[in-house]
Amino acid sequence: MEAIKLNEKLRLDKLLAHAGFGTRSEIKKAIKAKLVQVDGKIVTDSGLIVVPNEQTIKFDGKQVHYRSVIYLMLNKPQGVISATEDGREKTVIDLLEPEDKLLSPFPVGRLDKDTTGLLLLTNDGQLAHELLSPKKHVDKTYEALILGKVTDEDVEKFKQGVVLDDGYMTKPAQLVIKDYINVENKVMSNIEVTIHEGKFHQVKRMFIAVGKQVLTLKRLSMGPLKLDEALSLGQYRALTEEEIVQLKMHRGIHV
C-alpha cells in the first residue's frame, strides 16, 4: 500500500496513534477527556477529519508533529510468520489495524513461526538496515524452555561460541540458567540467552550443538528496545519518542 502523504486528510485518532500518543482506545479516552485541541479549540470527536500540515493539533498541551514513518512494537504470537504477505500463512502485518497498514510497515528481521515476543515493525528503511546489518552485531535477548539440563559447561561453551551444524562458529553468547523444572520425569531448563548476530534459527541450532532442544522461545529485547510486558500476544503499540531516540542513537543515527 502507499504511505500516507502529509497533506492527506486523516481521522484525528489515526493521526495521534501514528504520532505515538497511545493505542486507539487510549486516544479515544483522552479525546473524550477534552485533552485534544484542533486549531485552538477542544474537540471530543475522535473521528474528526484533519489535515496535519494545515492545522495545529495539540495533545494535552503538546503540539503534535505528524510523521510519515511508523514504529510499532509487536508481541508476536505463535503461528504467525514474520513477513509482509504470504499466500498461505497469516503474517504479522495481518495483525495490524487497517490504518497502521496504510504506512506500509515491515518486520525488522524475522522470528520463527513458533517463536514469540518482541518484533519491531517500521517503514524506516535506514533504521532497519542499521539493526539488521551483519556488521552491526545488535544484541538480542531471548528466554527459552529447554528440554534437558543446561549446565555450567554449556554456559562456558556459549561464552566461547559453538559450532553449528553447517560448520559456522558463532560469536560468543551469554547464557544464564534461571531454574530447572521436572515434567513427567523429564528435566527442563528455563534460561535466558543473549546473542550478537542473527543466523537462521540460531538459538535453536546453538542448543542442538550442545545436545539440547528448544521447546519454547521468546524474544525479550533487541538492542535497547525491550518488550513491553503489558502487551498480550498479538497486541502491539507505537514506540514512544524515547524508544525511537534510543534505537537511533544506539545505531549512530542522527536524531
Across 92-155, the runs of DSSP E, i.e. the strands, are 106-107, 116-122, 140-147
Q: Are 196 and 173 in contact (CB under 8 A)?
A: yes
Q: Would residue 227 count as lying in a domain? A: no
Tell me how far apart the alpha carbons of residues 43 and 34 are, in angstroms, rounded to a whole number: 6
Task: Give the position of cell 530447572.
Answer: 180
Q: Is the dihedral of CA 172, 246, 116, 189 positive or negative?
A: positive
Top-confidence range, 18-32, 56-70, 100-114, 142-156: 142-156
Residue range of the domain that includes 80? 71-134+233-250
- Please check whether residues 210 and 155 belong to one and the same domain: yes
> For residue 158, what is the domain's CATH number?
3.30.70.1560
CB atoms within 10 A of CB 248: 18
The total of structural domains in the chain comes to 3
CB atoms within 10 A of CB 255: 9
Q: Would residue 28 count as lying in a domain? A: yes
Tell me how far apart the alpha carbons of residues 57 and 124 are, in angstroms, rounded to a whole number: 24
Q: Would residue 5 count as lying in a domain? A: no
For residue 129, what is the DSSP state?
H
> For residue 20, what is the domain's CATH number?
3.10.290.10
| End position of a domain, from candidates 40, 63, 86 | 63
What is the rounded average pLDDT of the residues 198-214?
Answer: 95
Q: Would residue 228 count as lying in a domain? A: no
Residues 105-162: pLDDT tens digits?
999 999 999 999 999 999 999 999 989 887 777 899 999 999 999 999 999 999 999 9
Q: What pTM value is reported for the model?
A: 0.76
C-alpha cell at 90: 497469516
Residue 53: its pLDDT value, please? Answer: 78
- Please check whether residues 16 and 90 belong to one and the same domain: no
| Mean pLDDT of the residues in the chain | 90
> For residue 103, what is the domain's CATH number?
3.30.70.580
Helices 241-250 + 125-132 axis angle, to 10: 50
Q: Would residue 242 count as lying in a domain? A: yes
- Please check whether residues 144 and 130 belong to one and the same domain: no
pLDDT at 251 over 90: no
- Please check whether residues 129 and 243 belong to one and the same domain: yes
| End position of a domain, from candidates 46, 63, 80 | 63
Identify residue 223 by its one-letter amino acid code.
G
Cα–chain-centroid distance for residue 183?
31
Task: Give the position of cell 497502521.
Answer: 100
H or E element: which one contains 178? strand 174-183
- Please check whether residues 29 and 155 belong to one and the same domain: no
Q: Would residue 4 count as lying in a domain? A: no
Given 112, 114, 139, 228, which residue is catalytic?
112
Q: Would residue 2 count as lying in a domain? A: no
Tell me how far apart the alpha carbons of residues 98 and 82 are, in angstroms, rounded to a whole number: 18
- Please check whether residues 86 and 154 belong to one and the same domain: no
Residue 13 is a catalytic residue: no
Tell me how far apart the alpha carbons of residues 95 and 84 are, in angstroms, rounded to a whole number: 11
Of residues 241 and 93, more confidence is placed in 93
Rg of the chain over CA atoms, in angstroms? 21
